[in-house]
Amino acid sequence: MTKPQVARGQAEQAGLSRRERVREATLTEIKAIARRHLVEHGPAGVSLRAIAREMGMTAPGLYRYVSGIDALLVAITADMFDELGAAVAAADASVPDEDTDRRIRTSLRAFRAWAVSHRSEFAIMFGPRPHVDPNADTAPAIEAARRFAATFYTLFDRLLAERRFVLPDSAHVTPELARELRSFAETCGFSAPHIPVEAVMVLSSCWVRLYGVVCMEVFDQMSVVMRDMEPLFESELHTVLTGLGVRYEPPGSTAPTTIGSSD
Amino acid sequence: MTKPQVARGQAEQAGLSRRERVREATLTEIKAIARRHLVEHGPAGVSLRAIAREMGMTAPGLYRYVSGIDALLVAITADMFDELGAAVAAADASVPDEDTDRRIRTSLRAFRAWAVSHRSEFAIMFGPRPHVDPNADTAPAIEAARRFAATFYTLFDRLLAERRFVLPDSAHVTPELARELRSFAETCGFSAPHIPVEAVMVLSSCWVRLYGVVCMEVFDQMSVVMRDMEPLFESELHTVLTGLGVRYEPPGSTAPTTIGSSD
DNA sequence: GGCGTTTGCTAACGGTGTTCACTAAAGCGT
DNA sequence: ACGCTTTAGTGAACACCGTTAGCAAACGCC
């Protein structure tokens, strides 16, 4: 049992022994190369042997760092969720705090922009999970996904607090749906203590629409029939935002929300 | 060059020589086994060697029937689109011709039902296309997909002809969107000669929503947070149909549309 | 019956994930 | 500074995979 957390040579960041630092570094390199192979050759193009080859070592050596190819995929998936979250957060932070509407527009557009410019990554993160054996540890990716989702919960919470839109008639929420929505709200730990199920329904519905367009675009579902999917995304964004009481402005617009133009 | 299309022993279906018949049969068997492996072991579990093993032959022998694993996947994808189309059509045909509303509800629910009970298939059909090399011949699958889509075009066309809903304000259709929508209408060959772009927009929007919910469910996107996705699907279906001027009824309902109950 | 076409096989090449036994080196305590 | 322990990495091996080339047998038509 080694415990070198006090005596160290020079100033090292975050109480890590030299060994731990170089270990961390190679793990980072592994993930970086895996990531590059993912975007260059698709999900099937990520192989331990190819990564090892590129690093100047042999495949079994990688097992000191990763428990297998599946775990590696899970690890980089978690990283990608964090990266997507950071991209959205950066977009959000790039506009003045008080301009809520523009912040929301910018954040949602950042989501799509990241998705279309990181198609392979998006496919792994939001696409089908190929038959995953039950004992696989997907916790890191799920946790990262939860963190990412929280970004949008926060934005939505603000709209809710500002009473931007009227909640739908509760008669439209069947008991079964209410049960699922409550489960949703509880499991993902909404910040608001007692959020009405109608609000969760609105959030779900909006998310379904945006998720739908982006998936259609990234998965190349309409490529035979449509060349550019941005207009359709903008159209969906328009109706979603309008329904949420958020002002819509076309992408290039720099006009602040308070100064109205034509709708 | 053999041309036995006149003289044949007994009554054979559809002018096929014996050789062609047995050939067709083995191809069918190959696809059937591939399909089973797909549902049982996921997309990655489909391998020529395994299929050959199960058929009592060797992998290279399969190359007499299929030009490679990719082509095999494309072939069964085409079959699956036809099968999905047949399932939807069967559901549509199971309700009286004149009850348009119920036919539409039933068809859309059949789509979801098929998707959730054929997750692996759905993932290949509607999920991300992994880096496909340009010279791959995906035409059969695309053609089958087009046939499937036509099913819904027909249903939508009827609603349009019956003027069930008012078209959205054309001011909401940007020129860019209009261009893409026109391309959509032309490429997929709508039956109506000159369909307004606003109608295509409504169709796209509806499809995006339903595609979105079903993808979220089949891709297991919310499984951490929601156990049953049917209520959310029904909720989306409700708002989509209502916006389309189609009466919504909950799944079990056998009441004909003309007799109204509470909304 | 002869003969060309079709079918399927074996062998082989190059690629993959993964396990195991093993060496060499690095780190640490004394 | 030495010795022991922990760790990083290797090589060989196993069991798979897709794909190609060459060859032998079966089939079906004339």
Q: Tokens 């708002």 sit at which residue?
A: B239
User: What are the chain A neighbours of B218 within 8 Å (beta carbons)?
Assistant: 128
Question: Helix B69-93 vs helix B139-161: angle between axes, to the nearest 10 degrees?
Answer: 20
More confident residue, A20 or A6: A20
Per CA to C1' distance, which residue is closest to D21?
Answer: B60
pLDDT band at B135 (very low <50, low <70, confident <90, very high): confident
Lowest mean pLDDT among A16-30, A137-151, A169-183: A16-30
pLDDT of res. B3 = 41
Reading the block at residue B45, the tokens are: 């579990």
pLDDT of res. B255 = 62
Reading the block at residue B262, the tokens are: 């509470």
Lowest mean pLDDT among A180-189, B143-152, B205-214: A180-189
- Inform me whether the pLDDT recorded for A207 exceeds 50: yes
Reading the block at residue A1, the tokens are: 């049992």
pLDDT of res. A255 = 62
Which ranges of chain A would DSSP assign to H, the alpha helix? Answer: 18-41, 48-55, 59-62, 69-93, 100-117, 119-126, 139-161, 175-187, 197-218, 230-243
What are the pLDDT digits (tens) for B20-72? 899 999 999 999 999 999 999 999 999 999 999 999 999 999 999 999 999 99
Q: Percent of chain A at pLDDT above 90?
A: 81
Strand C nucleotides within a 7 Å radius of protein CB atoms: 5-12, 15-21, 26-29
- Report residue A186: phi and psi, to 5°: -70, -50
Reading the block at residue A209, the tokens are: 């629409």
Q: Report the nucleotide nearest the CA of residue B72, measured to C1'.
A: D18
Reading the block at residue B194, the tokens are: 């000159």
CA dist B212 and B218 (Å) reads 10
CA dist B87 and B90 (Å) reads 5
**Nearest Cα to B152, choosing from B96, B81, B219, B216?**
B81
**Nearest Cα to B185, choosing from B193, B165, A216?**
B193
Q: Are B245 and A237 in contact (CB under 8 A)?
A: no
What is the length of chain A?
263
Name, in order, each residue with C-beta under 8 angstroms of A138's C-beta and a sequence gap of 6 or more.
A74, A132
Which DSSP state fits A58? -
Q: Separation of CA A10 and C1' D2 in angstroms?
A: 25
- Other C-beta atoms closer than 10 Å to the C-beta of B118 total 20
> Which of B147, B190, B220, B221 to probe by mutation at the A interface, max A CB count within 10 Å?
B221
Q: Which region, left, alpha or beta, applies to residue B166 given φ > 0 means left and ψ of -120 to 50 means alpha? A: beta
- Report residue B190: phi and psi, to 5°: -60, 145
**Nearest Cα to B105, choosing from B227, B217, B215, B254?**
B254
Strand D nucleotides within a 7 Å radius of protein CB atoms: 7-12, 16-22, 27-30
Reading the block at residue A245, the tokens are: 């009481």
Burial class, A113, CB count within 10 angstroms (exposed 0-12 / middle 13-18 / buried 19+): middle
- Inform me whether the pLDDT recorded for A220 exceeds 50: yes
CB contact under 8 A, A213 and B208: yes
Q: Are B159 and B240 in contact (CB under 8 A)?
A: no
Of A41, A183, A221, the CB nearest to B131: A41
Helix (H, G, I), strand (E, B) or coil at B58: coil
Q: Are B177 and A213 in contact (CB under 8 A)?
A: no
CA dist B34 and B27 (Å) reads 10
pLDDT band at A40 (very low <50, low <70, confident <90, very high): very high
Helix (H, G, I), strand (E, B) or coil at A74: helix
More confident residue, A240 or B5: A240
Interchain CB contact of B150 with A (< 8 Å): no
Interchain CB contact of A211 with B (< 8 Å): yes
Q: Are B205 and B173 in contact (CB under 8 A)?
A: no
Q: Percent of chain B at pLDDT above 90?
A: 81
Lowest mean pLDDT among A78-82, A198-202, B19-23, B173-177: B19-23
What are the pLDDT digits (tens) for B69-121? 999 999 999 999 999 999 999 999 999 999 999 999 999 999 999 999 999 99
pLDDT of res. B62 = 98
Helix (H, G, I), strand (E, B) or coil at B139: helix
Please give the mean pLDDT across all residues of chain B: 90
Interchain CB contact of B194 with A (< 8 Å): no
CB contact under 8 A, B176 and A228: yes
